[in-house]
């Protein structure tokens, strides 16, 4: 909301600086987001009068004028405009001044004629976007007056951020009330004095409210004999400064009263109100109304209408109809000031995507008690500006009477909630100043003080307040406490650390888990990414993961329209993008959720969707290095998984082959611990690669964090170390290619029990030397006992037994 | 014989002095002291001597042997030293070549900031609570005192999800008015407050980090961002404690000289409500481009929990009070790391992430 300081000054004397006023309002909850001083750029521009004008001797398009700038000595100024006559008053930019566009005015010589200053158009003064010719000023203005003052531009316009609860502050009077409280000044209300004719308005019009649930109050007045024309300059200027476009005097006065009182009003051409009858009713389904913006609106039973005896005229509280508004020919008018149910206006405004100054106020709640005053003010101003005679009386249909709320305040509660005692007198001073009225010492009916225990002291610190009806936001004790706190200033509350804890809870294990996973992956060279949770359906389809994906009903774009079912739909595009930006090697991981529907979602406290926290990674290529450059492959992805498992001390994990549309079937594995699926790892499926425009050689992994948490040993337990030396022996076997290293290793470990401590694959070889369809696997075996030093004989005996069993069970040949 | 011993001693002396390699010294040891060496050859002829002579010669030979061994050891030490000296003077490595192995990865600034915010509050005894991102309207709005058709809903443009499509057929949102059963992407982490209070008795002292969603996308808004909210509920919790807590946080997070400023504001779920400004971290409050010359940065929303929120969460507002606060993680991360453009946070350019 734009607030004019000059306007504000009509209701309250502001005797502090602009910055101080802004600070006070901000610190009271009406945040000043901007301060504009429109007249500031017009220093050195004054009202001047054209005394004489002649054609320039050397230029057809120029004139040489004699100008009175109030200094007593006429100035010679060369001018290119033609739209003036001698005697006109115009703005003169004097020598030494600078115009808002940045033009510096100096003494000039134009085609051999001296020119002392420049006569200005409204565009040159920065007042309008376009203009033709000089700005011809009001002849009553005094020569020499600074132009900013003459045009009412010597103002300060505050941009006030009014929070949705404070509809009372959507007006100059409302903010004036606040300022009066903050400055301890008096509030002066505008005059609403009227002289009425003897004809009763009620003889000309009738107000019928059919839906009192939605329309609480509707008041009207009638004025006859008005003249529609442009508003006077001061009003146009004031509306313009507050961001409202001037239209004609009747519409402008309506807007003026809205900006003054916060009460939206409407002016009808009474001759276009069929039967002189106003009917407020809900719309019938399918009913139509052409609104002022020339759009045909199809209405439904949610919409509230202002109708005449036959047809709808206005979409109540939102926008007028095009057929009932005032025109240039209008002479008889009906003024409306009404109160509507806020939710109704909000629904209509939302449904028709029509947001107006009027709906903005109504949907936040307006002051039902201000109606008589606002409509009288409207009538008084119209008579002043557009002439005419006000018929006698308001026709005021207050169909749904709203009593002001009463709220009880315990001074003790103020201290309890704020942490600082506020004396009862101060509470009273603040509330009274804000327009709250003491309802007398009504007994407090709250639960925490029983009436039997109430002492004289506690009774005196309890007061009941009648809430001004403009303050739609105040309904409970905490609201009153907030009023007291914000007017005193939050600075007046001393900070205190919260009182001590009775116990310290252990950290959630998941946090430790997350930290360890992150540091394990950092050690593997993975950079963390954070992606949007929603992706393009096509990105899920590339993984055949679009089935059941949760769609957003109102997405911003199709690229962000479905919740991801796999983090790969984010990570693979991350990789592809990096490669397009010339990355040779990338390793990314993300710790985030995937989303799927699940049965019974939303029942009780059950989440709507199944949200699974996943740790997923993607890697591609490698950085080039003098020590050797190798592109990432399956075993780098597996190493990442292993580093995470190792950091969490998860043991007994197996990697088994996997068929999944995510992965290349020849290079992918499921990560299991017993029957629990911890995750998957593998090469991106070539089809997904193509669809996502990803390079070849992208490897992926994903792990289910909840499953990891179940298996993790965050505090591993120590085992005693063997005091005895180990014996190392190598074993190389030639086996069919299809046989896995794990199959061989498990035989070694089983047969070698209890002497074989570990068996590590240290070489894998396929080639001519071992024959077609075969491979050589070399294991380093470590023999060790916890009880004694092993003898060479027993190790040899065990090793021989292992060789024999491996050959026998797996058809392996011991490598020569 | 003694002459031969003397000759051996003298030739050994001169030959050892000439030896410059380990191998040469070793060869001389074999030549003089080996089983078939010169000393052995001399001693081999002792059988022909008389016992006294043999005894005397044996003693002389042993003396010589000891002497030779000492000399050989000295020669060994000398050539080893010479070899080491030579090795030490050899060509130097190119130490400017980079080290071998994988370079450590980097944390995303948002997740790092989020973790740091949470651990700062952990020092004040706050535990971490998390909750669903796809949420019923009731938890996201109604329970937080934002009924349907309330203008406060405009403060947070909402993404909706078709409940039927998700399989939500019979949601039992506690409100039960139909609107609360709509499915939204949570617009703030505040629904976790409600879930936390519904699940446990007071006192509550928790922070709630996570992703939130608003239908808004421009220079300064992304449709997804992160929040950390905090909630402290107990008997007689005061606004003064809210101030103290956030004051402490600001100093711990932004630096010991940071100041806070509390401004009245409006949030439907708190009463009174306050915006919290922190003295500008760039100009220390003097006024600069980042703080738009105000000296203050708006970083937090906060307030005393509204009694209606307590009622919805099953707490008795006459028995407990509490405060809540919330902050946008991206904003803090941008201030902290000097990131100008919010949107770079989610573009995940490898050059961006590698900086942190």
Residue A784: which of A692, A705, A721, A736 has the closest Cα? Answer: A721
pLDDT value at residue A456: 39
Is any Cβ of chain A less than 8 angstroms from the Cβ of B302? no
Rounded to 10°, the helix B239-254/A411-418 angle is 20
What is the spatial distance between Cα A739 and Cα A728, in angstroms, rounded to a whole number?
25
In a domain, A452, yes or no: no
What is the predicted pLDDT for the residue at A445? Answer: 41
With CB atoms and an 8 Å threshold, state whether A550 touches B195: no
The per-residue pLDDT for range A107-142, each reduced to its tens digit, is: 989 888 999 999 999 888 887 777 788 999 988 889
pLDDT on residue A443: 43
B window 307-326, beta carbon within 8 A of A: 307, 318, 321
Span B197-203, average pLDDT:
95
Q: Which tens digits make up the pLDDT trace of A276-316?
A: 999 999 999 889 999 988 999 999 998 999 999 999 999 99
Residue A361 and residue A228 share a domain: yes
A360: left (phi over 0), alpha (psi -120 to 50) or beta: alpha
A58 and A105, same structural domain? yes
Residue B344, min C-alpha distance to chain A (Å): 11
Give the per-residue pLDDT at A448: 41
The confidence band for B175, taking pLDDT boundaries of 50, 70 and 90, is low
pLDDT of residue B174: 62
Q: Is residue A283 part of a domain?
A: yes
Nearest CB neighbour to A419, from listed B111, B240, B347: B240
State how far the alpha carbon of A365 is from the alpha carbons of A171, A491, B220, B267, in Å: 13, 30, 31, 17
DSSP A448: S
**Is residue A500, in this structure, part of any structural domain at all?**
no
Q: Is the pLDDT of residue A629 over 50?
A: yes
Residues A535 and A633 in one domain: yes
Q: Is the pLDDT of residue A816 over 70?
A: no
**Is the domain of A411 the same as that of A336?**
no
> Which tokens belong to A652?
């007994």
CB distance from B337 to chain A under 8 Å? no
Measured in angstroms, the CA of B87 and the nearest CA of chain A are apart by 24
Does residue A11 register a pLDDT over 80?
Answer: yes
Q: Give how far A505 is from chain B: nearest CA, Å.
A: 7
Q: What is the pLDDT at residue B46? A: 79
Q: What's the mean pLDDT when you consider all of chain B?
A: 91
Output the CA–CA distances (angstroms, integers) from residue A40 to A16, A153, A379, A718, in the order listed.
19, 8, 35, 78
A333 in the same domain as A430? no
Domain B109-131+187-353 sits in CATH 3.50.50.60: no
Contact flag B241-A476 (C-beta cutoff 8 Å): no
A191 occurs within a structural domain? no
Write the DSSP string, A511-560: HHHHHHHHHHHHHTTPEE----SEE-HHHHHTTT--TTPPBBSS-SSGGG
Query: What pLDDT was estimated at residue A450?
Result: 41
pLDDT above 80: residue A322 = yes
- Site from B96, B264, B318, B333 to mutate, A interface, most A CB atoms within 10 angstroms: B264
Look at residue B172 and tell me whether its pLDDT is greater than 70. Answer: no
Tell me the average pLDDT across A402-429.
94
The minimal CB distance from A531 to the residues B127, B306, B346 is found for B346
User: What is the percent of chain A where pLDDT is above 90?
Assistant: 80
Average model confidence (pLDDT) for chain A? 92
Same domain, A129 and A225: no
Size of interface A-B (CB pairs under 8 A): 268
Residue A121 lies in a domain: yes
pLDDT digits (tens, 9 = 90+) for A140-185: 889 999 998 888 888 999 999 999 999 999 999 999 999 999 999 9
Residue B173 has a pLDDT of 59
Mean pLDDT, rounded, for B52-61: 85
B66-93 mean pLDDT: 92
Number of H helices, E strands in chain B: 13, 10
Give yes or no: residues A44 and A109 share one domain. Answer: yes
Q: Which of B134, B223, B272 minimises the CB distance to A560?
A: B223
A571 & A633 share domain: yes
Among B167, B213, B354, whose Cβ lies nearest the Cβ of A601? B167
> What confidence score (pLDDT) does residue A31 get?
95
Task: Assess whether A32 and A44 both reside in one domain.
Answer: no
CA angle (A145, A147, A153) in 5-degree steps: 125
Q: How confident is the model at residue B182 (pLDDT cuts 50, 70, 90)?
A: confident
**Most confident by average pLDDT, A16-30, A133-147, A437-451, B287-301:** A16-30
**pLDDT of A814:** 72
CATH number of the domain that A142 lies in?
Answer: 2.40.50.140
Residue A503, in any domain of the structure: no
Mean pLDDT of A398-402: 95
Query: What average pLDDT does range B303-329 have in this prediction?
Result: 96
Q: What is the pLDDT of residue A359?
A: 96
The pLDDT assigned to A100 comes to 83
Whether the pLDDT of residue A453 is over 50: the answer is: no
pLDDT tens-digit map of B143-160: 999 988 887 787 778 999
- Bridge partners (DSSP) listed for residue A55: A63
Considering only residues A468 and B156, tell me which one the structure prediction assigns the higher pLDDT.
A468
**Token reading at A451:** 């009436």
A359-368, A667-676, A800-809: the lowest-pLDDT one: A800-809
With CB atoms and an 8 Å threshold, state whether B171 touches A603: yes
Residue A501 lies in a domain: no
Do residues A391 and A473 both lie within one domain?
Answer: no
Strands (E), A622-662: 653-657
ipTM, two decimals, is 0.88
Say which residue, A490 or A154, is predicted with more confidence.
A490
Label each residue of A680-739 as H, E or C.
EEEEECHHHHHHCCCCCCEEEEEEEHHHHHHHCCCCCCCCCCCCCCCEEEEEEEEEECCC
Distance from CA of B88 to the nearest CA of A (A): 25
Per-residue model confidence as pLDDT tens digits over B218-267: 888 999 999 999 999 999 999 999 999 999 999 999 999 999 999 999 99
CB contact under 8 A, A553 and B198: no
Residues 158-217 of B with CB under 8 A from A: 159-163, 165-168, 170-173, 181, 183, 185, 195, 198-199, 203, 205, 211, 213, 215, 217
Q: How many domains does chain A have?
A: 6
The answer to whether residue A649 is domain-embedded is yes
Q: What is the percent of chain A where pLDDT is above 70?
A: 97
Whether the CB-CB separation of A523 and A548 falls below 8 Å is answered with no
CATH number of the domain bearing residue A411: 3.30.56.10
pLDDT attached to residue B170? 59
At A670 the pLDDT is: 97
Residue A129 is part of which domain span? Answer: 40-150
Q: Is the pLDDT of residue A482 over 50?
A: yes
Six-digit token pair at A703? 């792990």
């Amino acid at each position: 909301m734009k607030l004019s300081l000059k306007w504000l000054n009509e209701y309250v004397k502001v005797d502090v600086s602009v910055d101080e006023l802004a600070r006070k309002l901000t610190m009271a909850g009406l945040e000043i987001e901007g301060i504009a001083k429109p007249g500031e750029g017009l220093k050195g521009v004054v009202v001047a009068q054209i005394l004489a004008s002649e054609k320039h001797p050397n230029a057809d398009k120029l004139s040489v004028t004699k100008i009175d700038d109030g200094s007593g000595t006429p100035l010679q100024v060369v001018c290119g405009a033609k739209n003036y006559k001698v005697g006109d008053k115009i703005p003169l930019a004097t020598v030494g001044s600078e115009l808002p566009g940045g033009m510096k005015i100096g003494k000039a010589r134009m085609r051999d004629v001296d020119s002392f200053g420049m006569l200005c158009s409204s565009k040159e003064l920065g007042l309008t976007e376009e203009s033709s010719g000089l700005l011809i000023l009001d002849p009553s203005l005094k020569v020499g007056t600074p132009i900013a003052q003459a045009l009412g531009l010597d103002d300060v316009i505050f941009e006030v951020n009014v929070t949705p609860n404070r509809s009372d502050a959507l007006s100059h009077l409302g903010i004036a009330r606040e300022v009066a409280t903050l400055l301890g000044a008096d509030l002066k209300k505008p005059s609403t004095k009227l002289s009425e004719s003897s004809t009763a308005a009620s003889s000309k019009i009738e107000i019928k409210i059919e839906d009192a649930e939605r329309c609480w109050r509707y008041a009207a007045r009638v004025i006859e004999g008005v003249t529609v024309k442009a508003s006077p300059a001061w009003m146009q200027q004031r509306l313009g400064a507050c961001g409202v476009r001037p239209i004609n005097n009747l519409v402008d006065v309506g807007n003026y009263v809205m900006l003054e009182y916060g009460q939206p009003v409407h002016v009808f051409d009474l001759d276009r109100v069929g039967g002189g009858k106003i009917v407020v009713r809900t719309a019938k389904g399918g009913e139509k109304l052409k609104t002022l913006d020339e759009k045909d609106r199809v209405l439904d039973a949610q919409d509230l209408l202002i109708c005449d005896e036959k047809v709808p005229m206005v979409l109540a509280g939102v926008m007028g109809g095009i057929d009932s508004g005032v025109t240039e020919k209008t002479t008889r008018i009906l003024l409306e000031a009404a109160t509507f149910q806020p939710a109704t206006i909000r629904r209509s405004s939302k449904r028709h995507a029509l947001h107006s100054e009027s709906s903005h106020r109504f949907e936040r709640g307006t002051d039902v008690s201000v109606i008589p005053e606002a409509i009288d003010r409207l009538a008084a101003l119209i008579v002043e500006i557009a002439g005419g005679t006000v018929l006698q009386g308001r026709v005021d249909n207050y169909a749904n009477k709203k009593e002001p709320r009463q709220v009880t305040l315990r001074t003790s509660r103020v201290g309890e909630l704020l942490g600082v005692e506020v004396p009862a007198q101060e509470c009273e001073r603040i509330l009274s100043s804000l327009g709250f009225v003491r309802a007398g010492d009504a007994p407090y009916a709250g639960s925490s003080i029983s009436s039997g225990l109430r002492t004289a002291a506690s009774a005196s610190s309890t007061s009941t307040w009648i809430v001004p009806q403009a303050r739609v936001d105040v309904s409970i004790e905490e609201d009153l406490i907030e009023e007291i706190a914000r007017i005193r200033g939050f600075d007046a509350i001393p900070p205190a650390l919260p009182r001590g804890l009775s116990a310290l809870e252990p950290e959630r294990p998941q946090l430790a888990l997350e930290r360890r996973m992150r540091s394990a992956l950092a050690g593997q060279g993975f950079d963390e990414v954070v992606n949007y949770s929603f992706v393009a359906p096509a990105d899920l389809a590339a993984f055949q993961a679009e089935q059941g994906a949760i769609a957003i009903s109102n997405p911003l774009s199709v690229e962000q329209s479905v919740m991801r079912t796999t983090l790969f739909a984010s990570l693979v595009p991350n990789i592809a993008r990096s490669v397009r930006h010339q990355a040779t090697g990338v390793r990314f991981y993300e710790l985030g959720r995937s989303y799927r529907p699940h049965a019974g979602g939303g029942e009780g406290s059950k989440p709507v969707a199944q949200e699974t926290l996943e740790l997923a990674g993607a890697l591609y290529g490698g950085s080039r290095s003098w020590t050797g450059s190798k592109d990432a492959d399956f075993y780098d992805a597996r190493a990442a998984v292993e580093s995470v498992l190792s950091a969490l001390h998860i043991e007994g994990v197996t990697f088994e082959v996997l068929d999944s549309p995510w992965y290349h079937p020849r290079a992918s594995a499921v990560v299991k611990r017993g029957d629990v699926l911890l995750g998957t790892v593998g090469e991106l499926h070539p089809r997904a690669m193509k669809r996502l425009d990803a390079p070849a050689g992208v490897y992926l992994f994903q792990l289910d964090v909840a499953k990891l948490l179940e298996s993790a040993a965050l505090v591993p337990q120590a085992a005693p170390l063997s005091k005895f030396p180990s014996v190392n022996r190598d074993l190389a076997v030639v086996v069919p290619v299809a046989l896995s290293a794990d199959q061989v290793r498990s035989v070694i470990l089983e047969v070698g029990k209890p002497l074989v401590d570990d068996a590590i694959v240290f070489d894998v070889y396929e080639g001519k030397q071992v024959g077609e369809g075969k491979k050589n696997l070399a294991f380093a075996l470590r023999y060790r006992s916890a009880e004694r030093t092993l003898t060479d004989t027993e190790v040899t005996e065990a090793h021989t037994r292992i060789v024999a069993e491996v050959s026998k069970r797996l058809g392996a040949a011991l490598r020569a | 014989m003694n002459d031969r011993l003397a000759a051996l001693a003298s030739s050994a002396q001169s030959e050892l002095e000439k030896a410059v390699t380990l191998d040469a010294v070793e060869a001389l040891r074999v030549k003089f002291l080996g089983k078939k060496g010169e000393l052995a050859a001399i001693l081999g002829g002792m059988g022909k001597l008389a016992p006294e002579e043999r005894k005397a010669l044996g003693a002389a030979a042993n003396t010589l042997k000891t002497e030779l061994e000492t000399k050989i050891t000295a020669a060994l030490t000398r050539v080893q030293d010479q070899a080491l000296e030579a090795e030490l003077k050899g060509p130097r490595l190119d130490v400017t070549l980079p080290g071998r192995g994988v370079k450590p990865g980097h944390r995303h600034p948002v997740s790092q900031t989020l973790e740091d915010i949470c651990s700062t509050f952990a020092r004040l005894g706050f535990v971490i609570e998390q909750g669903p991102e796809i949420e019923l309207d009731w938890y996201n709005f109604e329970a937080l005192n934002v009924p349907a058709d309330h203008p406060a809903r405009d403060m947070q443009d909402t993404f909706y999800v078709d409940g039927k499509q998700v399989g939500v057929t019979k949601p039992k949102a506690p409100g039960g008015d139909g609107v609360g059963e709509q499915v939204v992407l949570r617009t703030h982490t505040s629904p976790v407050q409600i879930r936390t209070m519904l699940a446990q008795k007071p006192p509550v002292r928790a922070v709630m980090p996570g992703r939130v969603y608003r239908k808004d996308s421009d220079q300064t808004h992304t449709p997804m961002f992160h929040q950390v909210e905090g909630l402290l509920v107990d008997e007689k919790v005061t606004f003064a404690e809210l101030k103290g807590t956030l004051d402490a946080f600001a100093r711990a997070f932004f630096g010991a000289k940071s100041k806070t400023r509390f401004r009245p504001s409006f949030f439907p779920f708190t009463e009174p409500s306050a915006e919290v400004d922190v003295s500008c971290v760039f100009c220390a409050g003097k006024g600069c481009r980042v703080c738009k010359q105000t000296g203050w940065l708006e970083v937090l929303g906060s307030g005393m929990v509204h009694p209606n929120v307590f009622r919805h969460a099953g707490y008795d507002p006459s028995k407990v009070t509490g405060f809540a606060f919330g902050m946008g993680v991206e904003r803090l991360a941008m201030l902290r790391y000097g990131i100008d453009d919010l949107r770079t946070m989610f573009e995940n350019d490898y050059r961006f992430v590698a900086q942190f």
